[in-house]
Amino acid sequence: MTLKPVKSAPRSDAESLYLSAAGARADDAPWLAALRKQATEEFSQIGLPHRRMEAWKYTDLRALDRAGFAPAQAGTTVVPPLAHGVGEIDEIVILNGLVVEESLRPERFSGITIMSIRTALTEAPQVLENTIGAARPLDRSSLYALNLSLMNDGLVLIAEKGASHPRPIVLRYVNDSVEPTSVHVRNVIVAGEGAKITLVENREAGTGANFLNAVTDLRLADTAQVNHYKFDQCSSESLTVTLANADLGAEARYENVGLSLGGKAARVETQVRFSGEGGLARLGGVLAGEGRDHIDHTTLARHDVPGCACEEEFRAILTDQARGVFQGQISVAPNAQKTDSRMLMRGLLLSEDASMRCKPELEIYADDVKCAHGTSVGNIDDDALFYMMSRGIPQIEARALLVEAFSKDVVELITDEWVRQQFTRQLTDKLGRIVGDWSS
């Protein structure tokens, strides 16, 4: 696939910095070396995504990332486990972009092969060639190319037919560098027929400013179930760009819900391709921003076969000068009859200067489909506030209850109990701060 080069400005410092790190890796198989070379070429032509590209119209990374982030060096920190997860989850740590091998603990998995990309490069190159080598994202940005060009590591998880893992697998992105650094991670998740897994990508703030560029490929065979969640605690000087690229077989179920709590720029993109009939995807996200946070959730759902359903539920809660972006593209091929698609985005702006951009895009070529979508942006309902206060609830508490209520429908999408609790806890903490600051 080639991209039309967009006539662009001279190369920025950031772009030069990223390109200086590109090049073949010693362990690369020939197919990967070729892919990398092509990707590097692509990035060098296009540069960082910017506002003149349709898919990045509202999230201009060239403007948001001027100086660039140098490639991260291996970390030294011993990462303590998540206090609230001991025993209930399986943690895998990716420190400064490299999988901490001791955190893999294969003995905790059955019917599931788990290894780092680095290991797979030498021990299971065929798996990577069949996945990364054959990946066909619905939309491929220059950051995808940059990821291909610079990625060193990530998680490979292969669940055999019928395998079912009882605990959430929490992939922790941790950064211990002090200087601004970038990491480019690639994960490969393959769920065999009927397999069931829960994957959580937990992006932690890290010590210094940092840039996380993560691509996760997910292959769901027929009737497989993958619950995929993303927690993003991106700091106000940091960038997060994550892409989940899921391909669903017949009657597969894919759930993807993200919580974005800030960032200089945080872009969470989810692409779902329905390749087998009867697939179901539930996508959701809560964007909670303050200060000058910029949070973007983008979804693409492509119905290539009949009888699949996609539900999307997004909420943005923004204060100060925070900016939110939601783009939702749904495309239904001519033969994809009986597609059922629902997409709702609602924004709550708690200050004059907060803003929300919504871009729903429907391309429907089949005639027998159900497709409902809506977006709305507003403020807290004064009547509801008065009603609650008239029962003695102080204004700040009443607001907090109403703001929390606003995101309920997204929280309810989450099947996994542990994740739902974490989601609620992190969101409540954040909203407490947003509502508290805002009333003072």
Residue 79 or 393 with smaller CB distance to other proteins: 393
Q: How far apart are the first and last CA of the chain?
A: 53
DSSP code of residue 331: E
Query: Is 363 one of the binding residues for other proteins (CB under 8 A)?
Result: no
Query: Is 390 one of the binding residues for other proteins (CB under 8 A)?
Result: yes
Chain length of the chain: 440
Which range binds other proteins by CB under 8 A, 3-11, 127-135, 160-168, 389-397?
A: 389-397
Reading the block at residue 356, the tokens are 């929300």
Query: Is 378 one of the binding residues for other proteins (CB under 8 A)?
Result: no
**Tokens 């999230």 label which residue?**
59
Which range binds other proteins by CB under 8 A, 67-75, 109-117, 259-267, 382-390?
A: 382-390
CB 103, min distance to other proteins, A: 38
Residue 101 or 417 with smaller CB distance to other proteins: 417
User: Which residue in 67, 386, 425, 429 binds other proteins (CB under 8 A)?
Assistant: 386
Round to whole Å and give the CA distance between 236 and 261.
10
CB 346, min distance to other proteins, A: 11
Residue 237 or 412 with smaller CB distance to other proteins: 412
Neighbours of 440 (CB within 10 A): 6
Query: Is 401 one of the binding residues for other proteins (CB under 8 A)?
Result: yes
Query: Is 374 one of the binding residues for other proteins (CB under 8 A)?
Result: no
Round to whole Å and give the CA distance between 147 and 150.
5
CB 282, min distance to other proteins, A: 18
Residue 266 or 317 with smaller CB distance to other proteins: 317
Query: Is 380 one of the binding residues for other proteins (CB under 8 A)?
Result: no
Q: Which residue from 370, 366, 399, 394 is spatially nearest to 384, judged by alpha carbons?
A: 399
Query: Is 395 one of the binding residues for other proteins (CB under 8 A)?
Result: yes
Residue 237 or 429 with smaller CB distance to other proteins: 429
Residue 153 or 313 with smaller CB distance to other proteins: 313
Round to whole Å and give the CA distance between 154 and 116.
6
Per-residue binding string, other proteins, 153-172, x by CB under 8 A, is --------------------
Reading the block at residue 428, the tokens are 């409540």
Residue 366 or 384 with smaller CB distance to other proteins: 384
Contact status, residue 115 vs residue 156, Cβ threshold 8 Å? yes
Q: Which residue from 114, 263, 87 is spatially nearest to 189, judged by alpha carbons?
A: 114
Which range binds other proteins by CB under 8 A, 55-63, 134-142, 273-281, 399-407?
A: 399-407
User: Which residue in 6, 34, 178, 405 binds other proteins (CB under 8 A)?
Assistant: 405
CB 406, min distance to other proteins, A: 6
What is the DSSP pairing of strand 294-303 with strand 112-116? unpaired
Count of chain residues binding other proteins (CB under 8 A): 23
User: Which residue in 88, 389, 415, 424 binds other proteins (CB under 8 A)?
Assistant: 389
Residue 99 or 287 with smaller CB distance to other proteins: 287
Query: Is 409 one of the binding residues for other proteins (CB under 8 A)?
Result: yes
Query: Is 397 one of the binding residues for other proteins (CB under 8 A)?
Result: yes
How many helices and strands in the chain, by DSSP H and E?
A: 10, 20
Query: Is 408 one of the binding residues for other proteins (CB under 8 A)?
Result: yes
Reading the block at residue 246, the tokens are 């899921």
Query: Is 384 one of the binding residues for other proteins (CB under 8 A)?
Result: yes
Q: Which residues contact 230 (CB under 8 A, 6 or more apart)?
A: 200, 201, 202, 203, 242, 244, 256, 257, 258, 259, 260, 268
Give, in order, the Cα–Cα distances in Å from 266 to each of 269, 359, 415.
10, 17, 24
Contact status, residue 333 vs residue 364, Cβ threshold 8 Å? no
Query: Is 7 one of the binding residues for other proteins (CB under 8 A)?
Result: no
Helix (H, G, I), strand (E, B) or coil at 404: helix
Round to whole Å and give the CA distance between 68 and 198.
33
Q: Summarize as ranges the residues that interact with other proteins (CB under 8 A).
A: 382-384, 386-395, 397-398, 401-402, 404-409
